[in-house]
């Protein structure tokens, strides 16, 4: 079981292993441009969409418009064509226009750097807000997606039922120096090794620390 006595060892081992895993696409894009708007848009495109689809779609869109003002010069149809085939691309195209309009009209074109402000935007939940804050502004936050929720519970580090509960539990327990990177590490780990079913425990760098809660079969 991962505890606060072993979390430092665990995080160090994950950092060392991570270069051999594929980083989340939003993280890859954020490393090229720490523009909070582009992080926000890429994150929205990534929802219910595989990374191999999200990356090219975001690049096509940003080639047309990479700022809120520029986005508002595009039609919904133009945005749809640029981001297809991301999941719910028609709904997302309208969401991107709505958010861009709100940013221009109410925030002087600047993405806010506070989670409570970001979640006021249509289509922006705590996962997206945390990702914008951490990747776009390098401010403390814990982005919890399905991988972070599943793996931290599998470790036995937290015992929660929803991603939001996991975020709050991690905020209370996880040392703050690890807040920003835990999403990157666990998403990459979840995509590569710690699958929902039949995880590759034999390849896991922290296998001896994991409680394997809920694991019925492994490789």
Domain ranges of the chain: 7-21+141-209, 35-137
How far apart are alpha carbons 10 and 155 in whole angstroms? 10
Q: How much is the pTM?
A: 0.92
Are 200 and 30 in contact by the 8 Å Cβ rule? The answer is no
pLDDT digits (tens, 9 = 90+) for 111-143: 999 999 999 999 999 999 999 999 999 999 999
Q: How confident is the model at residue 24 (pLDDT cuts 50, 70, 90)?
A: confident
pLDDT of 30 reads 80
* pLDDT above 90 (res 31): no
d(CA 197, CA 218): 8
Whole-number pLDDT of residue 6: 98
pLDDT reported for residue 22: 85
Superfamily of domain 35-137: Hypothetical protein; domain 2 (1.10.340.30)
Is residue 12's pLDDT more than 80? yes
pLDDT exceeds cutoff 80 at 198:
yes
List alpha helices for the chain, DSSP H: 7-17, 25-32, 36-46, 51-64, 68-71, 76-83, 89-106, 115-118, 126-131, 137, 146-155, 163-173, 179-192
Q: Summarize the confidence of residues 12-25 as an average pLDDT.
A: 93
pLDDT digits (tens, 9 = 90+) for 159-169: 999 999 999 99
The pLDDT value recorded for residue 183 is 96
CB atoms within 10 A of CB 178: 17
Residue 20 confidence (pLDDT): 94
- CB atoms under 10 Å from CB of 108, counted, come to 8
Q: What is the CA radius of gyration of the chain?
A: 18
pLDDT at residue 32 greater than cutoff 90: no
pLDDT tens digits, residue range 76-118? 999 999 999 999 999 999 999 999 999 999 999 999 999 999 9
Contact present, 46 and 54 (Cβ < 8 Å): yes
Contact 198, 154 (CB under 8 A): no
The architecture in CATH of the region 7-21+141-209 reads: Orthogonal Bundle (1.10)
Please return the burial class of 165, using the count of CB atoms within 10 Å of its CB with bins 0-12, 13-18 and 19+: middle
């Amino acid at each position: 079981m991962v505890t606060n006595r072993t979390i430092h060892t665990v995080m160090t081992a994950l950092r060392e292993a991570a270069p051999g895993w594929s980083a989340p696409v939003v993280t890859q894009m954020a490393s090229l441009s720490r523009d909070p708007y582009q992080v926000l848009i890429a994150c929205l495109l990534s929802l219910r969409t595989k990374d191999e689809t999200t990356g090219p779609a975001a690049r096509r869109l940003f080639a047309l418009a990479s700022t809120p003002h520029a986005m508002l010069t595009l039609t919904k149809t133009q945005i749809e064509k640029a981001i297809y085939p991301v999941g719910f691309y028609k709904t997302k195209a309208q969401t991107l226009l709505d958010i861009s309009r709100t940013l221009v009209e109410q925030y002087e074109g600047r993405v806010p750097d506070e989670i409570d402000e970001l979640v006021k935007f249509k289509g922006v939940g705590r996962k997206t807000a945390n990702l914008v804050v951490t990747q776009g502004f390098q401010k403390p936050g814990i982005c919890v997606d399905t991988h972070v929720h599943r793996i931290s519970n599998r470790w036995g580090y937290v015992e929660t039922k929803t991603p939001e509960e996991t975020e709050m539990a991690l905020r209370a327990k996880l040392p703050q120096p690890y807040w920003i990177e835990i999403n990157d590490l666990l998403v990459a780990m979840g995509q590569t090794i710690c699958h929902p079913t039949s995880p590759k425990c034999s390849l896991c760098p922290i296998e001896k620390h994991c409680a394997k809660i809920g694991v019925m079969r492994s490789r």
